[in-house]
Structure 1
Amino acid sequence: MSSWRDPYQQNQYQQYEQQYQQPQQQQQHPNGQQPHVDQFSYSQNPQNNRRNVRKKSLLIGINYEGQAHALKGCRQDVRNMSQFLVSKGYPTDEKSMVILADDRKGPFYPTGHNMLAAMDWLVSEPHTQCFLHYSGHGGQVKDPDGDRDSGFDDTIVPVDYQQNGQIDSDTLHRRLVSKLPASSTLFVVFDCCHSGSAIELPYVYRTDADGNVNLMDNVKQGIHLMTTAKNLLQGGFSYNKVNDAKQLFAGAQSFFSSLKHRNEPQEEGLGEEHFMEDWAHEGKSVFMFSGCRDDQTSADATISGSPSGAMSWALLETLYSRPDLTYVGVLQNTRQLLLGKYKQIPQLSVGMEVDLNQPLHI
């Protein structure tokens, strides 16, 4: 299958965007021990302090009925997620919530064209809290740009992928992240295979089996650690400076060591991939919970007799039962729910340096 290479021109989205455009409105760990969280120099995300911002959501669920690899729970995931968003104050009018599913018609049928158009609509306004949920197939296609070590781009799979191809991670980043206004925030949930870096965010966190949360950034992060350590020692020495520099050097050494076998599955850290694009400079307020690492598949499960994606179920179970959790707590709790039944390892990807020990407010 080929990669979707954005064959449509922007003006073909205008009718769709105009239809929905609206002016801007003003844990305790099971072993009893406290798991560690990698500590870095964070900047506070100002969006989490904002109130009365406009809220928009885009929910995409594709079961691929009648196709060779049909799924069962994706449309149910969308229904479940929409109910959760309503409980969090997300409006359901057609100018604020758009649902694409393969039991719908017209602009709400999840073709590649409609999915990209809806994404453009989602991130089109400043001072907006945006939410995107995708439940469906994920895949990988050969990387034509040479910007992936593995030689493959992660993808999501529209209902018409056999005719028009898949939507690759580079396209998703440019449409969702690069176009996001600096004053807006985007939350993303991808419940699909190979979703770990599906929108190519620069900071990636994953829990290990003990519940510890580790940051494994791209290769540039390792270089950043080395550079920061060297800069710290310039302009004079002090005990604190030397101590901090030693920690940074140790972190960089550990980071590069983890890349020696980056194509092998790993329990913690991203390790197996990095991007040639320096997305970190964008500094966008984007938070993505994904169903598994790039080298894993997500489970299509049955929960309490109803079909559901395992990641969607675990995340919603966490958000409903523990609304006070931090970003780190949500990731840890989701991992614990999946750990007993499923092999996939959920992860959190972020578009900027931010304090993940603050409460998650969706």
Structure 2
Amino acid sequence: MATGLSLHVGLNRVDPAEYGGWDGQLVACDNDAHDMARLARGAGFGTTTLLTSDGTVENVTAELRRAAKTLKSGDILLFTYSGHGGQVPRADGADAEPDAFDETLVFYDREFLDDELHREFGRFARGVRILALLDCCHSGTGIEVREFLTPEAMQEQFQTRDPRRIENTARLMPVVKQHEIYQRDKDFFQELQRDLAAHKSRQPAAGALLISACQDNQLASDGDVNGKFTGTLLDVWNDGAFRGGYRAFHRDILRNMPPTQSPHFFVSGQPDEAFLEQQPFTV
């Protein structure tokens, strides 16, 4: 029989000592992690949950590496993250596109680059199925909120036309704070990016499927109970009543989201088509 392991990370705040006094307060991320862990347990996964102060780079990578040593071909990893998203500029020589940015997951102690997550997924054996669900903002390339959301869209999604208030209700690390932290830690990030680029494999051995809360130029809404994406996902899943594969699952989630937040479906490596056609969360 196949083995399923899951890791659920939810951060309702970050360490202000590491983020220049910003605590990144959110409401529903811990709930998201708890609810996704409950779903996973019901589907037969062994679960680990890391909440807020436990959601450090060291703890997350340790759990991912433990899973990579355990899982073999035919097994499955479920990774969920709820928290802030951010960006840092790519270092010269780290990518063919000098003006591009790396997306980040804003962990408790520092931002975690998307290429770091790619590296961790690359540790898994060929044939392992990886499903990642990310409920965070993927803000556009250093663009201020007001430049890619119209006042009408802001009012519909966040009930305000003030971009400053949006940063308190969306899972977006404030752009000014992103710049401040990057300037402070620029040498660290650039060295990390070059090292990741130098050792980056073309594709992870395992096949990975990512369904994220929104497109790169959109914001992900927080909520009173769950994030908008996670809450909609749970509604569509309907305690296992959903029937269909991952593409249909994504389409049904998308249909129930506001036009200002469109979940993204992305694969890396070479996931088996049979995996993509399985009922979601099948071990």
- Answer whether TM exceeds 0.5 for this pair: yes
Instruction: Report matched runs for 1:285-296 at 5 Å.
Output: 285-296=207-218
User: Which residue in 1 is equivalent to 2:235?
Assistant: 317
Q: What is the SS of the residue equivalent to 2:277?
A: coil
Q: What is the SS of the residue equivalent to 1:124?
A: helix
The match for 1:111 among 50, 56, 64 is 56
Structure in which a larger fraction of residues adopt helix = 2
Mapped contact 2:125–2:205 kept (Cα < 8 A): no
User: Which residue in 1 is equivalent to 2:51?
Assistant: 101
Mapped contact 1:195–1:291 kept (Cα < 8 A): no
CA deviation map 1:65-117 (0-9, x unaligned): 674431110000011111111221123xxxxx2211126xxxxx111221222
Q: What is the SS of the residue equivalent to 1:287?
A: strand
What's the offset of the Cα at 1:167?
0.9
User: Which residue in 1 is equivalent to 2:81?
Assistant: 134
What's the offset of the Cα at 1:315?
1.3
The match for 1:194 among 138, 145, 150 is 138
Instruction: Report matched runs for 1:1-362 at 5 Å.
Output: 52-64=1-13, 67-91=22-46, 97-102=47-52, 109-125=54-70, 126-127=72-73, 128-144=75-91, 145-148=94-97, 150-161=99-110, 166-176=111-121, 178-194=122-138, 281-282=203-204, 284-302=206-224, 307-320=225-238, 322-339=241-258, 343-351=260-268, 352=270, 354-355=272-273, 358-362=277-281
Task: Give me the TM-score of the superposition, normalised by structure 1.
Answer: 0.53
CA deviation map 1:309-360 (0-9, x unaligned): 1111111211226421222211111011113xx6111011112265387233
Mapped contact 1:194–1:294 kept (Cα < 8 A): yes
Mapped contact 1:191–1:298 kept (Cα < 8 A): yes
What's the offset of the Cα at 1:122?
2.4
In structure 1, runs of 5+ residues without a counterpart are: 1-51, 92-96, 104-108, 197-275
Give the Cα separation in 1 of the matches to 2:279 and 2:267: 13
CA deviation map 1:201-256 (0-9, x unaligned): xxxxxxxxxxxxxxxxxxxxxxxxxxxxxxxxxxxxxxxxxxxxxxxxxxxxxxxx
Change (3 A) 1:73 1:55: same
What's the offset of the Cα at 1:294?
1.6
Q: What is the SS of the residue equivalent to 1:57?
A: strand
Mapped contact 2:118–2:204 kept (Cα < 8 A): no
Give the Cα separation in 2 of the matches to 1:324 and 1:69: 37
* RMSD, matched Cα: 2.6
Runs of 4+ residues over 3 Å off in structure 1: 65-68, 147-150, 276-283, 353-357
Give the Cα separation in 2 of the matches to 1:113 and 1:283: 23
Name the amino acid aligned to 1:314. T
**Which of structures 1 and 2 has the bigger CA Rg?**
1
- State the percentage of identical aligned residues: 23
Give the Cα separation in 2 of the matches to 1:316 and 1:325: 15
What's the offset of the Cα at 1:287?
1.2
Mapped contact 2:34–2:49 kept (Cα < 8 A): no
What's the offset of the Cα at 1:147?
4.0
Task: Give me the TM-score of the superposition, normalised by structure 2.
Answer: 0.67
Q: What is the SS of the residue equivalent to 2:215?
A: coil
In structure 2, runs of 5+ residues without a counterpart are: 17-21, 141-196
